[in-house]
């Protein structure tokens, strides 16, 4: 990397090299039977240069010629670059890698998936699908201003779902950690108990009612909040909250924050993919909108300071080597409350539990609107799950719905887009075929 940086430095004003090495081992079970085992090793290098106020970008999966990569970056000079690459030294030291992950074999993962299927399977009609695996990564970033950073991480994950007969809807749980951990009995019990109680089909009337979003569905709301507080949205004028900093916009029970330094969970980082130091970052605090988040580019555009949110990522994945850094909230968290999940369900006189969504992208995302199918939705009456609801939808706007928080679960879980508790909202519009 140093040799490539030296080549780039000679023909540019500033240069940055990002390198990623990643090993992925995955196992999948379908209908409680082994379907696939896959192992892959991937690596790559990307280069950004700034010359005469313009930004160039190039990447390769196989660095054979540094001169050619630099030429490709020079040929791509087009985007205005009003920022300087950061000088970051002595970032926070985090515990992001557990060496025990190296002893985990695909056989171990298969055995765990078999165990899960055996626990869930007997006497039930639902199809059991399980995906599990391990990921080890090493990120390195150097630039011509003296920044030289690296991060090594490990992750084990396991997602288990029990599907309703003749349906793609399921009750599921996800575990994610820095090392191998068996899926806890409480997760398996949740899947079994919830599935058994909701197997019967229910046909409630629609209307405004209490709605409980389980942790795996909270991303559908956070997606809209993250879009509105993104520096790109602020700059482009598509955010409805650009003039709302300091306003109490949500229920006071709600605190949303980024915490990339929290190495209790996998994926912690002390610097972003541009070399800016990361930090604890409140977005909403006790209902008050506190901050917008930026990468280098949009911080410069808005005369703001970069916040350590320049990541090579997208909502639904993508190749980090081929993606340019953009503002990304990354590891979002919601502060837990003081109610257990059973207490939340028990407090619902009439309402819906959202255990999965279809069409989370539907609606005007920057404006906070949503209109999503329930996959599944579980009908609750007098604190008890009555059954699952087919052909139902939930709709609203996060700036209205998230003002009416009744209670928040006391436990947080890994999920799409972050680590979240279940949240119970009041007076949410639900449409059913009845």
Q: What is the pTM of this model?
A: 0.94
pLDDT tens readout for residues 273-289: 999 999 999 999 999 99
423 bridge partner residues: 213, 408
Residue 370 to residue 362: CA distance in whole angstroms: 6
40 bridge partner residues: 24
Phi, psi dihedrals of residue 319, rounded to the nearest 5°: -90, 110
The domains of the chain, with CATH numbers, are 2-194 (3.30.2290.10), 200-434 (no CATH)
Predicted pLDDT at 316 = 60
CA 121 to chain centre: 29
Residues in the chain where the model's pLDDT stays below 50? none
Contact present, 4 and 63 (Cβ < 8 Å): yes
Cα dist from 259 to 219, 266, 426, whole Å: 16, 12, 28
Tally DSSP H helices, then E strands, for the chain: 9, 25
Contact present, 401 and 363 (Cβ < 8 Å): no
Predicted pLDDT at 298 = 97
Torsion sign (Cα): 397, 364, 237, 84: positive
Residue 385 to residue 405: CA distance in whole angstroms: 20
Tokens representing residue 50 in the block: 């700034």
Predicted pLDDT at 66 = 84
pLDDT tens readout for residues 104-146: 999 999 999 999 999 998 778 889 999 999 999 999 999 999 9
Please, is 249 exposed, middle or buried when counting C-beta atoms within 10 Å of its C-beta (0-12, 13-18, 19+)? Answer: buried
DSSP 6-63: HHHHHTSSEEEEEEEEEEEEEEEEETTEEEEEEEEEEEEEEEEEEETTEEEEEEESS-
Please give the radius of gyration of the chain, using alpha carbons only, rounded to the nearest integer.
23
Q: Tell the residue number behind the tokens 């190039």, with chain if given.
A: 58
First-to-final CA distance of the chain: 63
Residue 243 to residue 14: CA distance in whole angstroms: 34
Predicted pLDDT at 27 = 97
Cα dist from 295 to 19, 147, 210, whole Å: 19, 17, 38
Residue 46 to residue 88: CA distance in whole angstroms: 19
Predicted pLDDT at 314 = 62
Residue 85 to residue 70: CA distance in whole angstroms: 17
């Amino acid at each position: 990397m140093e040799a490539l940086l030296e080549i780039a430095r000679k023909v540019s004003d500033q240069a940055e090299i990002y390198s990623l090495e990643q090993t992925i081992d995955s196992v999948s079970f379908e209908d409680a039977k082994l379907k696939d085992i896959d192992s892959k090793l991937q690596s790559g290098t990307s280069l950004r240069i700034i010359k005469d106020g313009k930004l160039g970008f190039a990447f390769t999966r196989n660095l054979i010629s540094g001169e050619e990569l630099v030429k490709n970056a020079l040929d791509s000079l087009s985007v205005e670059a009003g920022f300087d690459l950061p000088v970051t030294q002595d970032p926070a030291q985090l515990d992001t890698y557990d060496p025990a992950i190296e002893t985990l074999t695909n056989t171990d993962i298969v055995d765990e998936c078999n165990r899960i299927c055996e626990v869930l399977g007997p006497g039930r009609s639902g199809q059991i699908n399980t995906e599990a695996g391990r990921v080890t990564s090493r990120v390195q970033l150097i630039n011509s201003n003296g920044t030289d950073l690296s991060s090594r991480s490990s992750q084990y994950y396991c997602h288990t779902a029990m599907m309703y007969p003749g349906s793609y809807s399921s009750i599921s749980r996800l575990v994610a950690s820095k090392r191998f951990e068996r899926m806890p009995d409480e997760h398996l019990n949740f899947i079994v108990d919830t599935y058994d109680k909701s197997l019967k089909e229910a046909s409630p009337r629609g209307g405004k009612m209490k709605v409980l979003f389980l942790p795996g569905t909270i991303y559908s709301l956070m997606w809209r909040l993250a879009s509105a507080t993104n520096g790109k949205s602020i700059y482009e004028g598509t955010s409805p909250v650009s003039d709302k900093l300091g306003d109490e916009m949500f229920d006071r029970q709600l605190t949303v924050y980024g915490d990339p330094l929290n190495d209790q969970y996998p994926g912690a980082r002390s610097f972003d993919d541009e070399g800016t130091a990361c930090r604890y970052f409140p977005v909403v605090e006790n209902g008050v909108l506190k901050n917008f988040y930026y990468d280098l580019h949009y911080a410069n555009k808005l005369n703001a300071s970069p916040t350590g949110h320049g990541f090579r990522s997208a909502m639904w994945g993508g190749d980090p080597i081929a993606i340019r850094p953009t503002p990304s909230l990354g590891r979002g968290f919601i502060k837990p409350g003081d109610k257990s999940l059973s207490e939340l369900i028990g407090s619902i006189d009439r309402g819906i539990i959202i255990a999965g969504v279809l069409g989370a992208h539907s609606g005007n995302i920057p404006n906070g609107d949503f209109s999503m199918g329930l996959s599944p939705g579980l009908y609750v009456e007098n604190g008890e799950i009555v059954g699952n609801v087919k052909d139902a939808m939930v709709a609203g706007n996060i700036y209205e719905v998230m003002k009416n928080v009744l209670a928040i679960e006391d436990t947080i879980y890994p999920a799409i887009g972050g680590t979240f508790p279940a949240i119970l909202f009041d007076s949410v519009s639900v449409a059913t075929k009845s």
